[in-house]
Structure 1
Amino acid sequence: MTTHQIDQDHPIPSGPSVGAAPAARKGWTLALAALGVFLTSLDVVVVATALPTLRSDLHASLSDLEWTINAYNLVFACLMLTGASLGDRFGRRRLYVLGLLVFTAGSAAAALSSTAGELIASRVLQGVGAAVLMPLTLTLISNAFPVEKRGAAIGIWGGVSGLGVAAGPVLGGAIVDGISWQWIFWINVPVGLVVAALSTRLLKESRGPRQQLDLPGLVMVGAALFGLTWAPVRAPIAGWGSAEVIGALLAGVVLLAAFLAWESRTRTPMLPLVYFKRRAFTAANGVTFFQFISLLGSLFMITQLFQIGLGYSPLEAGLRILVWMAMPMLVAPIAGGLADRFGNKPFMLAGLLLQAAGAGWLAAVVEPAVGYGTLVGPLIVSGVGIAMCFPTVANAVVGSVPAADSGVAAGTNSALRELGGVFGIAIVAAVFAAQGGYGSATDFIDGFKPAIAVAAAVPVLGAVFAALAPSRAQEQLERSAATA
């Protein structure tokens, strides 16, 4: 099928005008969407801080520790596009509230867990809720703000996402030290219930352009993403060359190809393939995938480094990680606002290179009994790079499609983000296990250094995609085409 045929069969729908939304409604929309992304961001990091405690209290193995993060990320990745499509069909406010309630229920179940298996199952339920609400946060913002102010709004969204990441280590450490690890989940319950109640009352209902669900597409893409995420999750145990892992990868690739073939033919696609012909859309999604391989892989190792490798308590570790994790909160709003003026490309490219440089610097200086002052520089450099990408990637993705399809764009980007995170944890865990272990602080650092070195190399691959992104002028042309 030719490009012309695709465009004729699946014309890109134009979105409604978003500039006329009242100021108060814009403010509430931004606040409630930001709180939703805060919850989903916080819950990855806050669990990472508690890994050593979970290892002790629940007698969890390395595999169990990976699954406490990967169970959430795997379901998150697999159902992201489904969540966005359901929001388009049944109402974005309705599905956003439902996602919050499911996430809250999963949090309560996690707090009540008494075994590693129960905790992992609860994390699956949290992931289901997060997969519904996360892509809708960007959709709600995109529909509320006009194009010329969207970058600044998404910058604030990115800053709040960064606040969730930044607060996670400190909050998790304080809770684990001062109360118990269960309260890292209990804290979500009142917040989730309040945000759900306010969203029901204050958010405006909206739907996407395709009211008919693409059921075959939903099944195929969900199964494809499951295969692609199952493989790296199981690889550290079964081995990358095992029949299980290779079979899961092949099944994922075949199902993904089938999904793309179906989307090119059906008249109600959940993901119009013509969007991938837009450089901003494709480049930003490539940036996300490689950035999160590095980010989640680094997070998995760094939270353990401060406790197992350097002997700090959970709270002491969280406070020391803050210089890394606070950067999105501080830098993302600035980068988002400047992107409206200078374009997204320079911030994505510089951000990835800084993330790589910081992680590489960290790998070079870590050694037994290293002083904290030696680690501050690389953590700040890496954190600034991460922060520059958060809002600009989101802005590039939703800005390259019509406002009515921002949910589909956000769902695609979020799915690739979580898929990258699952691969990242699996890759660094495999490198760590091959080179070190938990026998002593020295053994841990022996594995940590090569694992972080690998995490440092990955953003360079993402920088290739960033370099191919359109300039600000070209981006404006693509945006005009999207809204024509």
Structure 2
Amino acid sequence: MQDQTDGLPPPQRYWAMAAIAVSIALAVMDSSIANVALPVIARDLDVPPADVILVVNAYQIATILSLLPFSSLGEKVGHERVYRVGLVVFTAASVACALANSLEALIVARTIQGFGAAGLMSVNTALLRYIYPQKELGKGVGVNALIVASASVAGPTVGASILSIAHWPWIFAVNLPLGLLALVLTRFLPRTHRSGRRFDTASALLSAATFGTLTVGVEQATRGQSWWIVGLFALAFIGFGTALVRRQAGRPAPLLPVDLLGIPIFALSIAVSIGSFTAQMLAFVSMPFLFQHSFGLTAVQTGLVITPWPLIIILVAPVAGRMSDRISPGLLGGIGLLVMAVGLFLLVLLPDAPHPVDIGWRVGLCGLGFGLFQSPNNRVLLAAAPRERSGGASGMLSTARLLGQTIGAALAGLALGPVIGSQNGAIWALGAAAIIAGTSALISFSRLAAQKRV
């Protein structure tokens, strides 16, 4: 069977894209689907709010430390193979999450689930180059970006909908039938190119160690760990990161795309992406605690008032993508992040007993801003990379998103736990999210000059 380099014929293409859509939506959504249930899980398992944040962090950490190694492995053994194995691991771990009866068991299952999700996310965009013909690749990337953007913010809403009719384990159990459906559909995925290069095990381990020490170090800081221990993690991150960069320098297709980070607009876009997702995750983790603990809303009501965020993104993201063909993505992204910062700041200013409509339109404003930002940012990031390095650009795009989400969840845990506490921590977390979104907007505007050279 030959590699399919100019796309699949329409019938098979649609079924292959269905497999991508279902599986990647599950993987992305599960990074935030548990957020709205965190207070319920904490109460049910009798653990402090700061500790239950590990349910989110374990998934994020496992995913981010294995994302780039799996992407490199896909180039060697075939992207579709890594994708299928990742889907099997993700689905099986979802069942383990649903059956967990302690926080420790749930964290272990979420960690394994994160490794499975990394197998999906690492090769997701690379598969699109084999599913769509070259002349329609932009269409495929646009559809994929919309799925990822929508799924990344739909988690709380889907979680709330499930909680309205079932107990919290079902937010994980629902992945079983959908995962099996996606696994059946993977038979339509194309056979992808095998590079023939040897897998760089040393670089993969250095990459995992670099991102692992960074994210675990941040997570330990949020749990009030001694600062000398946090300092050791920081030193380890610097050491592993330095060794990784030196090993990757000069390689034709480095696992860590240091060649792409040398392109100014690419590096700026990665920084903006990290900041935006940090602000988003800060908001998504802290809003359920604010709405339920301070405003007295139920988990279902919390999900409903958060719903405007994903709904508006679904409407705005495709329009913003088309606008970015005529208007600078740096300008669109900057405006979008400013709008998001204003929405977050207005949430901080909510009175003690706000009407749900007062909450909803502010949340919707955040969604409008994020929707204006996301598609244009993805476009300029991918366009800045040479065509032959689109795989590296895709891996960094996912890494930036997950790194931002991990940092955001960790900062939320810091605010809700050892530094401030759950009562006022949610307000401080939303304030920090507004500041980060505003700062990211300024970085986005700085891309206007660099964009002229792309």
Identify whether the pair has TM-score above 0.5, normalized to the shorter chain: yes
Supply the distance in 1 between the matched residues of 2:157 and 2:250 (Cα, whole angstroms): 50
Q: Choose the corresponding residue for 1:135, options 122, 132, 141.
A: 122
Query: Relative to structure 1, is the Cα distance of residues 471 and 202 closer, same or farther in structure 2, using a 3 angstrom cutoff?
Result: farther
Residue 227 of structure 2 is matched in structure 1 by 242
Matched, 1:455 2:441: no
1:404-423 maps to which residues of 2 (within 5 A)?
Answer: 404-423=388-407
1:389 shift after superposition: 2.8
Supply the distance in 1 between the matched residues of 2:50 and 2:420 (Cα, whole angstroms): 15
Query: Relative to structure 1, is the Cα distance of residues 92 and 285 closer, same or farther in structure 2, using a 3 angstrom cutoff?
Result: same
Residue 334 of structure 2 is matched in structure 1 by 349
Q: Choose the corresponding residue for 2:179, options 192, 204, 228.
A: 192
Query: Relative to structure 1, is the Cα distance of residues 393 and 196 closer, same or farther in structure 2, using a 3 angstrom cutoff?
Result: farther
Query: Relative to structure 1, is the Cα distance of residues 339 and 205 closer, same or farther in structure 2, using a 3 angstrom cutoff?
Result: farther
1:171-210 maps to which residues of 2 (within 5 A)?
Answer: 171-199=158-186, 201-207=187-193, 209=195
Question: Across the two proteins, how many residue pairs are aligned to each other?
Answer: 452
Q: Output one character per residue of 1:101-122: Cα deviation in whole Å (capped at 9) or x when no partner.
A: 1110110110110001000000
1:218 shift after superposition: 0.8
1:453 shift after superposition: 0.7
Q: Choose the corresponding residue for 1:387, options 351, 357, 371.
A: 371
1:30 shift after superposition: 3.4
1:356 shift after superposition: 1.4
Residue 211 of structure 1 is matched in structure 2 by 197
Query: Relative to structure 1, is the Cα distance of residues 472 and 344 closer, same or farther in structure 2, using a 3 angstrom cutoff?
Result: farther
8 A contact 2:4–2:191 mirrored in 1: no
* Matched letter for residue 46 of structure 2: H
More displaced, 280-289 or 85-94?
280-289
Gaps of 5+ in 2: none
Residue 7 of structure 1 is matched in structure 2 by none
Supply the distance in 1 between the matched residues of 2:431 and 2:327 (Cα, whole angstroms): 32
8 A contact 2:50–2:417 mirrored in 1: no
Supply the distance in 1 between the matched residues of 2:168 and 2:421 (Cα, whole angstroms): 24
SS at match of 1:312: coil
Residue 360 of structure 2 is matched in structure 1 by 376
More displaced, 86-95 or 38-47?
38-47
SS at match of 1:270: coil
Query: Relative to structure 1, is the Cα distance of residues 260 and 473 closer, same or farther in structure 2, using a 3 angstrom cutoff?
Result: closer
Q: Tell me the TM-score normalized by structure 1.
A: 0.86
1:273 shift after superposition: 2.3
Matched, 1:284 2:282: no
Residue 233 of structure 1 is matched in structure 2 by 219
Matched, 1:252 2:201: no
Supply the distance in 1 between the matched residues of 2:379 and 2:129 (Cα, whole angstroms): 9
1:423 shift after superposition: 1.6
* Matched letter for residue 117 of structure 1: E
More displaced, 337-346 or 226-235?
337-346
Supply the distance in 2 between the matched residues of 1:171 and 1:432 (Cα, whole angstroms): 24
Query: Relative to structure 1, is the Cα distance of residues 271 and 234 closer, same or farther in structure 2, using a 3 angstrom cutoff?
Result: closer
Supply the distance in 2 between the matched residues of 1:67 and 1:381 (Cα, whole angstroms): 29
Q: Output one character per residue of 1:72-107: Cα deviation in whole Å (capped at 9) or x when no partner.
A: 001111111011111111101111111111110110
* Matched letter for residue 382 of structure 1: C
Supply the distance in 2 between the matched residues of 1:273 and 1:138 (Cα, whole angstroms): 19
* Matched letter for residue 280 of structure 2: L
* Structure 1 vs Structure 2 CA RMSD: 2.5
Supply the distance in 2 between the matched residues of 1:134 and 1:338 (Cα, whole angstroms): 26
1:208 shift after superposition: 6.3
* Matched letter for residue 359 of structure 2: L
Supply the distance in 1 between the matched residues of 2:4 and 2:337 (Cα, whole angstroms): 34
Query: Relative to structure 1, is the Cα distance of residues 157 and 314 closer, same or farther in structure 2, using a 3 angstrom cutoff?
Result: same
1:187 shift after superposition: 0.6
Supply the distance in 1 between the matched residues of 2:314 and 2:83 (Cα, whole angstroms): 24
1:136 shift after superposition: 1.7
Supply the distance in 2 between the matched residues of 1:403 and 1:197 (Cα, whole angstroms): 31
Q: Choose the corresponding residue for 1:101, options 88, 91, 105.
A: 88
Q: Output one character per residue of 1:337-389: Cα deviation in whole Å (capped at 9) or x when no partner.
A: 3334445333322222222121112112x232122222233211211121223
8 A contact 2:275–2:404 mirrored in 1: yes
* Matched letter for residue 443 of structure 2: F
Identity level (%) = 26
Q: Output one character per residue of 1:3-35: Cα deviation in whole Å (capped at 9) or x when no partner.
A: xxxxxxxxxxxxx99666533444334333222
SS at match of 1:269: coil
1:45 shift after superposition: 2.4
Query: Relative to structure 1, is the Cα distance of residues 17 and 285 closer, same or farther in structure 2, using a 3 angstrom cutoff?
Result: farther
Q: Tell me the TM-score normalized by structure 2.
A: 0.91
Supply the distance in 2 between the matched residues of 1:392 and 1:143 (Cα, whole angstroms): 23
Gaps of 5+ in 1: 1-15, 439-443, 479-484
Query: Relative to structure 1, is the Cα distance of residues 208 and 474 closer, same or farther in structure 2, using a 3 angstrom cutoff?
Result: farther
Q: Choose the corresponding residue for 1:320, options 289, 302, 305.
A: 305
8 A contact 1:76–1:128 mirrored in 2: yes
1:52 shift after superposition: 1.2
Q: Choose the corresponding residue for 2:67, options 52, 72, 80.
A: 80
SS at match of 1:224: helix
8 A contact 1:398–1:409 mirrored in 2: yes
1:136-175 maps to which residues of 2 (within 5 A)?
Answer: 136-145=123-132, 149-175=136-162
Query: Relative to structure 1, is the Cα distance of residues 277 and 162 closer, same or farther in structure 2, using a 3 angstrom cutoff?
Result: closer
* Matched letter for residue 98 of structure 2: A
* Matched letter for residue 404 of structure 2: G
Supply the distance in 1 between the matched residues of 2:131 and 2:449 (Cα, whole angstroms): 25
Supply the distance in 2 between the matched residues of 1:40 and 1:390 (Cα, whole angstroms): 18
Supply the distance in 2 between the matched residues of 1:353 and 1:409 (Cα, whole angstroms): 26
8 A contact 1:152–1:337 mirrored in 2: no
Residue 6 of structure 1 is matched in structure 2 by none
Q: Choose the corresponding residue for 1:425, options 381, 386, 409.
A: 409
1:143 shift after superposition: 4.5
1:404 shift after superposition: 4.7
Query: Relative to structure 1, is the Cα distance of residues 51 and 35 closer, same or farther in structure 2, using a 3 angstrom cutoff?
Result: same
Query: Relative to structure 1, is the Cα distance of residues 209 and 431 closer, same or farther in structure 2, using a 3 angstrom cutoff?
Result: same
Supply the distance in 2 between the matched residues of 1:114 and 1:17 (Cα, whole angstroms): 46
Q: Output one character per residue of 1:118-142: Cα deviation in whole Å (capped at 9) or x when no partner.
A: 0000000110011111132222224
Supply the distance in 2 between the matched residues of 1:347 and 1:23 (Cα, whole angstroms): 33
Supply the distance in 1 between the matched residues of 2:17 and 2:432 (Cα, whole angstroms): 36
8 A contact 2:290–2:427 mirrored in 1: no
SS at match of 1:180: coil
Supply the distance in 1 between the matched residues of 2:294 and 2:217 (Cα, whole angstroms): 29
